[in-house]
Structure 1
Amino acid sequence: MYDAGMTGQDVNSRPANDVKAERWRQRLRQALDIRGLDYGEVSETAGNNAEYVSKVLNGRFNPTVVRIMRICEAANIDMAYLFSEETDSVDRSVLSKATELTEDDAKLVSRLINSARSR
């Protein structure tokens, strides 16, 4: 049986469910980092204590679906992105380009995305 508290275990030797769990955590971290969001602020906006998102990202907490939804909402992340099997080339291209945006440009893109979603 796999113990989540074990250290030094290779990702490839973990059960499939653990690898998938790690993938969504990596995607959440990437999405937060690309947006330049503070984990503590996202945690509090989502209704948690300031350390919650950091502990989720480090695998110390396994959040409920509702808490993941709140984190995604607070950070303006499409929850489906976290759990999709693969990112396609368009997603990878957008994420790659997003890392190069200035803060003002990132805010503009975010407003455009929110506007498109509200239609």
Structure 2
Amino acid sequence: MYVPASTATLARFELDGQQVTLGLAGAPRRVTPTVKGDTVTYAGIVDGVELSYEVTATSMKERMLLRSAAAVSTFAFTLDARTLAVAQRKDGSIEFRSPPDNRVLLVMPAPPVR
């Protein structure tokens, strides 16, 4: 499992031979993740917020936990999908397609808010 130490690249995975990276928008800063089993956790990714990714061979689940009512509750992420075609669907999900044949490789569900 790749465990980055910068907010610029929080998660990285491969689709159809292309590397896809996700990061937190804004000025990059160093972070110290902890790994427990299949979960990477970034405590204090921003003040009062914990971010974790549960990673399996076929999935990655993101969870953000706001530790207080004063914590930031709006986030912007960066996405670098190299040559893959990326589009947001009407339901808020994000679709990744292979450029040569327009095949859907992955649909990232719209984030739920609880």
Whether the TM-score (by the shorter chain) exceeds 0.5 is: no
Higher strand residue share: 2
Greater fraction helix = 1
TM-score, normalised on structure 1?
0.29
Relative contact order higher in (CA < 8 Å, ≥ 6 apart): 1
**Structure possessing the higher radius of gyration over alpha carbons:** 1
